[in-house]
Amino acid sequence: MKKILFVASEAHPLIKTGGLADVAGSLPKALAELGQDIRILLPNYQAISSRGDIRYLCSLRVDNRNINLLETRIAGTDVLAWLIDYPAFFNYPGNPYLDANGEAWPNNDERFALFCKVAVEVAMNRIKQDWQPDIVHCNDWQTGLVPALLSLEDNRPASVFTLHNLAYQGVFPPESVGTLNIPSQLWQPEGLEFHQMLSFMKGGLVYADALTTVSPTYAQEIQTETYGCGLEGLLSYRHDKLIGILNGIDNDDWNPTTDDYLAANYSADQLAAQKTNKAALQQQMGLPVDDSIPVFGLISRLVEQKGIDLVIDCLPAALTMPMQFILLGAGDKSFESQLQNLAQQYPDKIAITLGYNEALAHQIEAGADVFLMPSRFEPCGLNQMYSQRYGTLPIVRKTGGLADTVVDAIPQNLANQTATGLVFSEASSGALLETIKRAITLYSLPNVWENMQQQAMQKDFSWQRSATQYLEVYGQISPNP
């Protein structure tokens, strides 16, 4: 049994802005089910949602600041969460990272530096709880200073740093070095310095004993100039410490046989009931109820990374074919406006819902025939895994976790019954349009389509599989001297 301190800036269901929270809520739970002793550490934001009791744990002093640690449990689990209670930094309304205008909080460097320093105090058993971890597992830039600061400690635990999206690096002006009391031996080009700026991300990438990212393909991609965001040299240098482990999905939350949001539950052996969900979705979205027409679904942030512009560019041509398109998402106002205009032009073919709605997300996954996910880059991605679990065949671009989880419907894969979706390579609207045409052709072959659905629904995307791989990483590392 390992004692593991899991350090993350968000964790579902306590607080969530994106996929990191899903990982930080699910992976510790899966590790605990494998017999590990685990604690999650995160800030006590104003928006923290805890259905259980929160109790005072202890107090500590860091950087001449008095801080309380609180304790609660992740709902539905025995996993303890320790909350760093310092209202001056964390008792802000709304988003953990951004103000109401979508701008980063101006003191994010101070906020997350304090978070990291408290993590080190916990890791070194200086909070008088008689609990010292064997492994400190850090996640994304907000925790990047933890491995760096731990490297200065004697008899420290080993550290793992998982990068979920290299595009967000936590880079701050050099003046922050003094403000944050960064030890001088860390402030160097081989340490936290990145083009004369302070990089939290580099702290994790340089000093952690093991590096992981969220898919095997992304682990390779980030060692190239195209995807490395300026850090490809460092990542190539540390390639022997870098491994890609696919994220899992919560098989309880995303299960078509038990999902309460659906009009009808179904399984790979009872696919006929999926048609009930399709009809209900078409009716709910104001589209003609017609099973002969494939429904294409998309749930996403509406940003360029997700390839939304490719979808917008190819939709007019795609809509000359028999298809319907249902979208749920929000983001770039220009994309939102273009999509609304298309919905007005094609009211019997397009239905757009701006924002996010958990129930509708499940209903689209169950009621659509095809799920669009044409991302320019995608470290892991979850919706393509949800889609396969629901027998909704994904169209994905060959990148990151999308390449690792979807088997293309080429003749060979159809013949040996391994195909679970459709894959294209070039990030262009033309390539996406050709793949949509392929999907429509395959949908007109019911036996072929149903066989692909069954193959997709039988794939194992559980967190138990991922957690076992993380345990292997933990078992192989020790603190570098």
Tens digit of pLDDT per residue, the chain (481 long)? 999 999 999 998 899 888 899 899 999 999 999 999 999 999 999 988 776 689 999 999 999 999 999 999 988 888 999 999 999 999 998 889 988 888 899 999 999 999 999 999 999 999 989 999 999 999 999 999 999 999 999 999 999 999 999 999 999 999 999 999 999 999 999 999 999 999 999 999 999 999 999 999 999 999 999 999 999 999 999 999 999 999 999 888 899 999 999 999 999 999 999 999 999 999 999 999 999 999 999 999 899 999 999 999 999 999 999 999 999 999 899 999 999 999 999 999 999 999 889 899 999 999 999 999 999 999 999 999 999 999 999 999 999 999 999 999 999 999 999 999 999 999 999 999 999 999 999 999 999 999 999 999 999 999 999 999 999 999 999 876 5
Task: Give dist(CA 109, CA 98) in Å, integer.
Answer: 13
Same domain, 127 and 102: yes
At 135, give phi and psi (nearest 5°).
Answer: -130, 135
Instruction: Tell the residue number behind the tokens 């392929």, with chain if given.
Output: 438
DSSP state of 462: B
Give Dmax (Cα) for the chain: 69
Same domain, 280 and 387: yes
For residue 70, the tally of other CB atoms under 10 A from its CB is: 17
255 domain-assigned: no
Pair of tokens at residue 275: 């048609």
Same domain, 8 and 53: yes
Task: Give dist(CA 168, CA 236) in Å, integer.
Answer: 19
Transcribe 295-346 into DSSP letters. Answer: EEEEEEEESGGGTHHHHHHHHHHHTTSS-EEEEEEEE-HHHHHHHHHHHHH-
436 domain-assigned: yes
Sheet holding 295-302, edge to edge: 350-354, 324-331, 295-302, 370-373, 393-397, 422-424
Contact 355, 336 (CB under 8 A): no
Same domain, 196 and 338: no
3-state SS class at 216:
helix
Same domain, 204 and 305: no
- Cα atoms in the Cβ-side hemisphere of radius 13 Å centred on 326: 27
Nearest to 20 by CA among 128, 143, 156, 132: 143
Task: Give dist(CA 368, CA 279) in Å, integer.
Answer: 10
265 domain-assigned: no
Residue type, 36: Q
Task: Give dist(CA 308, CA 429) in Å, integer.
Answer: 10
Same domain, 81 and 110: yes
Nearest to 212 by CA among 419, 473, 19, 405: 473
166 domain-assigned: yes
Same domain, 179 and 113: yes
Task: Give dist(CA 128, CA 34) in Å, integer.
Answer: 27
pLDDT the model gives residue 299: 96
Nearest to 62 by CA among 144, 151, 123: 123
pLDDT the model gives residue 52: 67
154 domain-assigned: yes
- Residue 333 sits in a domain of what CATH number? 3.40.50.2000
CA angle 467, 470, 475 (to 5 degrees): 125
256 domain-assigned: no
Same domain, 228 and 292: no
Crossing angle of the two packed helices 308-318 and 333-345, in degrees rounded to 10:
10
260 domain-assigned: no
Same domain, 103 and 67: yes
Same domain, 297 and 159: no
201 domain-assigned: yes
Same domain, 212 and 322: no
DSSP state of 272: G
Task: Give dist(CA 210, CA 260) in Å, integer.
Answer: 40
Instruction: Tell the residue number behind the tokens 């408290």, with chain if given.
Output: 118
Q: Residue 64 is part of which domain span?
A: 3-248+464-476
Total domain count, the chain: 2
Contact 392, 368 (CB under 8 A): yes
Pair of tokens at residue 337: 């406006």
Nearest to 203 by CA among 218, 184, 187: 187
Same domain, 283 and 235: no
